[in-house]
Amino acid sequence: MKTRIYALIASTFIAGTAMAQTKIKDGTVGGSSTLPNNDAILELESTQRGFLLPRLPLQATNNPAPLTAHIAGMTVYNTATAGTAPANVSPGWYYNDGTRWVRLAVAFEGQTLSYGSGAPTGACSGTGLYTDTSMVSPTVGQQWTCSSGSWVAYTAPSQTEWTYWGSNNDAGGDKVAMIERKGHIAINNGNPRVYLKTDNATTWSNRVIDVSDGRFRFYKEGGPEGTQEFINILPNGNVGINSVAPGATLQVDGSLKFPSAGTPVAGKVLTTDNAGNATWQASTSFGNTKIAATGTYTCPFNGAAGGAGLATGLSITIPSAGWYYFETGLTLNTDCNDYWMYINTGSGTADIWRVYCGASVPVYIVPRDQGRMLFLNPGTYPILAGKTNGVVPAQCDAGNPSVYVLATKVQN
C-alpha cells in the first residue's frame, strides 16, 4: 500500500505543471471513490494518518528566515521560541501574509482559567491558563499555559500599550487586576473631553462627571451644561459649589450646614475655639454682663521672700469660650517693690494686674485699677500672685472699694 502511495505522489509531481487534480489514499477508507473531490486540487484520505506540515524554526514574525522571502499563503509549523516582542515567535502554526508571519489563533475550548499570587507551581492538566494577579508580585500580569503537564510561560501578543500596574507585563489578555498606561491619553483629541454618563445617548445630557477645558465638573443628573454643575473646579484651583465660575478659592452659592458643630437652632452663631473646633452657640449681648471673682481675699504678699504662685483666695469662672476684658483693682500701702496678680490661661500665664517700683530707694506707692484682654476657654481659673522680694506691704487692701476682679465677654 505504501508503495502505491509513494508512486502516486511521485507520478503527480513528475507531471510538473500539468493541469490535474490529485487524490491520495492509504486504503483505510473502504468503498470510496478513487477520484478527488471536484473542488479540490489535492485530497488526502485516511482514517489512521494525518497531514504533517513542514517543521522549521522561525526567527521573528518580521523575518522570513529560514525562507528567503515572505510569501503570502505559506504555512508552516514553527518549532522555535525566538525574537523580541512584539515580533517574537513561539511554537505553533504560522502562515505568511506576504509581509510577516502570523500565528494562527489557538482555540481553548473548555480551557480552565485560574488566578493566584506569584508563578504557578506543581503539575497541571488539561488546557489551563493561569494568571498572576497579585499586585505585590514581581510577575503580576504574567500568564502561563499548561503544556504536557507542566506550566509554560505564555507570551501574550502585543495588543496595546496598557500594562499591569507597577510592571511592564502586557495587560491585553484575560486579566483582572489594575492596569495603567505610561504616557499620554488623548480622548476625542479634536475637543479633549472625558465624561461619565448615566445613559448611552450621543448628547451631553445625563452626564455626571465631565473633565474638559481644564475644568473638573460634577453634574446633577439630567441637567444641561451650565445649569446643573453643582461642583466645579477651575484650572486656577478655585472650587465652586452650585457656582459655574467661582471667583474665590471656595465659593458656595447656597446655604451651609455644620451638623457636627451641634444643633443649629435659629439665632445661634457659629464660633470656634483656639484649636479651630466649630460649635453653634447662643448669641450674646456682649458687654452687658460682668463676671466677678469669688472667694475670700487673703493678702498674698505677706511672705518674707519673693516668688510666684502665691494664693489669693480668689478664682473666676468663665462660662463659654471667647475674648474677655478684665478689670482688676487693688490698693497697696507699701515700700518699693514689684507686685502682680495673674491667671493661667492653659496656654501660659497672663497678668491681670501689676505694679512696678520705678525708683532705687523706698517710696510710698498706691496702685489701683488696671485692664487686660484675654481669650479663655470655659472653666474655673484660680487667681494667683507674685512679688520680687521680701517687702511686706503696710496695708494689703487699702482701697475703697476693696480688691476686685471683673471679666466681661466682648467677642466669641
CA 173/CA 170 separation, integer angstroms: 7
Question: What angle (nearest 5°) sits at the alpha carbon of residue 76, between those of residues 75 and 78?
Answer: 145
* Span 333-368, pLDDT tens digits: 888 888 999 999 888 889 999 988 776 555 556 667
Question: What angle (nearest 5°) sits at the alpha carbon of residue 392, between those of residues 386 and 395?
Answer: 105
* Span 377-408, pLDDT tens digits: 999 999 999 999 888 988 888 877 889 999 99
- Cβ atoms 385, 342 nearer than 8 A: yes
Beta pairing partners, 129: 113, 145
Q: Which three cell numbers stand for residue 288?
A: 452687658
Q: Which three cell numbers stand for residue 198?
A: 448615566
Tell me what pLDDT residue 386 has.
94
Domains recognised in the chain with CATH numbers: 2-45 (no CATH), 106-185 (no CATH), 193-252 (no CATH), 290-411 (2.60.120.40)
End-to-end CA distance of the chain: 112
Beta pairing partners, 210: 195, 217
Tell me what pLDDT residue 152 has.
85
Q: Which three cell numbers stand for residue 389?
A: 522680694
CB atoms within 10 A of CB 186: 7
Task: State the DSSP string of 168-221.
Answer: --B--SS--S-EEESS---SSTTS-EEEEESS--SSSTTEEEEEETTEEEEE-T
- Cβ atoms 144, 151 nearer than 8 A: yes
Tell me what pLDDT residue 3 has.
45
Tell me what pLDDT residue 271 has.
76
CA 167/CA 138 separation, integer angstroms: 8
- Cβ atoms 320, 314 nearer than 8 A: no
User: Residue 30 corresponds to which amino acid?
Assistant: G
SS3 at position 63: strand
pLDDT by residue for the chain (412 residues), tens only, comes to 444 444 444 444 444 445 578 888 888 888 788 788 888 888 888 888 888 889 999 999 999 999 999 999 999 999 999 998 778 888 988 999 999 998 875 544 456 778 888 888 888 776 778 888 777 788 877 888 887 778 888 766 555 567 766 676 666 555 566 777 766 566 665 666 666 666 655 565 566 677 777 777 777 765 555 456 678 888 888 988 888 888 899 888 877 777 666 666 676 777 777 677 777 777 666 667 899 999 999 999 999 999 999 999 999 999 988 899 999 999 888 888 889 999 998 888 899 999 887 765 555 566 678 889 999 999 999 999 999 988 898 888 887 788 999 999 988 7
Answer left, alpha or beta for residue 167, where phi above 0 means left and psi between -120 and 50 means alpha: beta
Strands (E), 253-348: 268-272, 278-282, 290-292, 294-295, 307-318, 322-329, 339-344
Answer left, alpha or beta for residue 133, where phi above 0 means left and psi between -120 and 50 means alpha: alpha
Q: Which three cell numbers stand for residue 356?
A: 512696678
Q: Which three cell numbers stand for residue 7?
A: 508512486
